[in-house]
Amino acid sequence: MNRLYHFPLSPFCRKVRLTLAEKKIEVELVEERFWEQNPEFLRRNPAGKVPVLRVDGRFLSESQAICEWLEDTVPTPPLMPRDADGRYEVRRICAWFDDKFHEEVTAKLVYERLKVGGRTPDARNIKSGSQRIKYHLDYMAWLLDQRRWLAGDAMTLADFAAAAHISALDYVSDVDWNRHAVIKDWYAKIKSRPAFRSILSDQIPGQAPARHYSDLDF
Amino acid sequence: MNRLYHFPLSPFCRKVRLTLAEKKIEVELVEERFWEQNPEFLRRNPAGKVPVLRVDGRFLSESQAICEWLEDTVPTPPLMPRDADGRYEVRRICAWFDDKFHEEVTAKLVYERLKVGGRTPDARNIKSGSQRIKYHLDYMAWLLDQRRWLAGDAMTLADFAAAAHISALDYVSDVDWNRHAVIKDWYAKIKSRPAFRSILSDQIPGQAPARHYSDLDF
């Protein structure tokens, strides 16, 4: 069986999990404490990161490369438009979340609060992340005022990249759902998809999710 | 005319410059001191990063999204294989360099030595980068022992991503060309391409390049 080595709140793993589930590809989830750099894990992925997807005896790494490979090999349902401009916009938004949003918000809030890899929460990081998420939510709302989904009128990998980060932040109660109705509507749509169920049932030992985390009426 | 807002030693800009030049797309290069977060620049790219490509009045950002858009819209010469597995490997290696190599090596050596954004060189970063580059060169050599180019038997975006980082490191003399003959051979091939000329003529005020930097026999 296919297997995904992952860490429950990792946004990169969540993006791949959503893509797999949407395309109805079954995988066994194996939790990997990647920061311990276990030698057997490093043999599977010398970059030492999650996610790593084992499929037909091969090991695939790098979340965006995995998602594009899934899109190329299992085209239904499509998660990328067919035209070059549409594909560009999906890739640009995935990079926005996986690079800028990750660095400014997810790393500063989720990883700190959960003490991923044994880190000690630093109040300055929490403060900085709590400030920056406002700017990012405003940018998302600006996009969603013009489009049904983040990259256009169809749901794409860009929505999964964003929802992967937002859902991890929501687990630790760091999303202000009152800031923009349009973001709450977008998240309600994506949260109610069957592909989202596995993510809503994640539990981190010693850190219960926010009360509304798995609630479809939040 | 098309225009690329860039910073000379930025590996992300260099990857896009190589792709543009290889596909014979002319651009005017405009140097952008992105860390000053000039408001007009932020209007063009709210992420506040380089490169930004202006083409037909639009502004495109995120280097990998730009390169894939160029590949989709100007397919000749091809810089990606046609099969899903080949494309996966190109994307994986691009991500390896633009994420892991960038964080562990380029940021620690190039940005420190050039004091990008006014930073003060930190001896611990320089030491760490100088150690880590050895591991990365060994990994490249391992790939090149099995393949003519980094992602397979044809030159691809993966080679441009790697050469973008390696060339910036070579400017500041941080590549040990004696470590692996196979890497020197690979770099000699890529360095002699007409697409590489603009990169070899880069000059940073107050920081001359290594003596062999633009030499095809290095």
- Tens digits of per-residue pLDDT, A181-195? 999 999 999 999 999
**How far is it, in rounded angstroms, from Cα B59 to Cα B3?**
9
Beta carbons of B40 and B32 less than 8 angstroms apart: no
Structure tokens at B44: 């063009």
With cut-offs at 50, 70 and 90, classify the pLDDT of residue B4.
very high
Q: Measure the CA–CA gap between B64 and B67, rounded to whole angstroms.
A: 5
Confidence of residue B141 (pLDDT cuts 50, 70, 90): very high
pLDDT of residue A194: 96
Residue B153 has pLDDT above 80, yes or no: yes
Q: B30-55: per-residue pLDDT in tens? A: 998 877 878 887 887 877 889 999 99
**Confidence band of A115 (pLDDT split at 50, 70, 90):** confident
Q: Please report residues of A whose CB lies closer than 8 A to that of B102.
A: none
CA distances from B209 to A114, B66, B180, B182, B189 (A): 44, 28, 22, 23, 20
Can you tell me whether residue A126 is helix, strand or coil? helix
B186 three-class SS = helix
- Among A144-158, B136-150, B203-217, which is the least confidently predicted range? B203-217
What's the mean pLDDT in B147-164? 98
Predicted confidence (pLDDT) at residue B93 exceeds the cutoff of 80: yes
Give the pLDDT band of residue A38 (cuts 50, 70, 90).
confident
The pLDDT of residue A114 is 82
ipTM: 0.95
**Residue B102: band (very low, low, confident or very high) from pLDDT cuts 50, 70, 90:** very high
Of the candidates A72, A85, A95, the beta carbon closest to that of B84 is on A72
Kind and range of the H or E run holding B211: none
Question: Is residue A150 within 8 Å of A162, Cβ to Cβ?
Answer: yes
Question: In terms of Cα–Cα distance, which of A3, A10, A53, A26 is closest to A199?
Answer: A10
Coil, strand or helix: which one is A22?
A: helix
Q: CA geometry: angle at B80 spanning B195 and A25, to 5°?
A: 155
Contacts of B47 in chain A (CB under 8 A): 96, 100
pLDDT of residue A94: 98
* pLDDT given at position A111: 85
The H-assigned helical ranges of chain B are: 11-22, 39-44, 63-73, 84-95, 112-113, 123-144, 157-171, 181-191, 197-200
Report, as an integer, the average pLDDT of B187-213.
Answer: 94
Q: How confident is the model at residue B130 (pLDDT cuts 50, 70, 90)?
A: very high
Nearest CA in chain B to A75: B84
Hey, what domains does chain B have and what are their CATH numbers? Answer: 84-193 (1.20.1050.10)
Nearest to A165 by CA among A109, A86, A124, A126: A109
* Best mean pLDDT range from A27-41, A90-104, A108-122: A90-104
Which residue, among B23, B91, B97, B157, would best test binding to A if mutated, counting the most A CBs under 10 Å from its CB?
B91
Q: Is B98 on the interface with A (CB under 8 A)?
A: no
Do A203 and A140 form a contact (C-beta atoms < 8 A)? no
pLDDT at B42: 82
- pLDDT tens profile B166-180: 999 999 999 999 999
Q: Which of B73, B120, B121, B162 is nearest to A83 (CA)?
A: B73
Tell me, what's the pLDDT at B34?
A: 79
Which three-class secondary structure state does DSSP give residue B3?
strand
By C-alpha distance, the chain A residue nearest B98 is A99
Contact A73 B84 (CB under 8 A): yes
Can you tell me the distance from the alpha carbon of A110 to that of A11, in angstroms, rounded to the nearest whole number? 10
pLDDT of amino acid A18: 98
CA dist., res. A198 & res. A187, Å (int)? 16
Q: Which amino acid is at B191?
A: K
Q: CB under 8 Å to B120, separation ≥6 — which residues?
A: none
CA distances from A105 to A109, A131, A168, B105, B178 (A): 6, 9, 11, 24, 42
Give the pLDDT score at A26: 96
Per the CB < 8 A criterion, the answer to whether A28 and A1 are in contact is: yes
> B169 and B104 in contact (C-beta within 8 Å)?
no
With an 8 Å Cβ cutoff, is A142 touching chain B? no
Q: Which amino acid is at A34?
A: F
Q: Which residue has the higher pLDDT, A117 or B218?
A: B218
Which pLDDT value is given to residue B37?
78
In a 13 Å sphere around the CA of A129, the CA atoms on its Cβ side amount to 25
Q: CB-based contact (8 Å) between A3 and chain B?
A: no
Are B69 and A46 inside 8 Å of each other by CB? no
**Chain A: residue whose CA lies nearest to B71:** A84
Residues A132, A102 contacting (CB under 8 angstroms): no
Tell me, what's the pLDDT at B152?
Answer: 97
| The predicted structure's pLDDT at residue B41 | 79
- Type of residue numbered B84: A
The per-residue pLDDT for A138 is: 97
What is the interface size between A and B, counted as CB pairs within 8 Å?
63
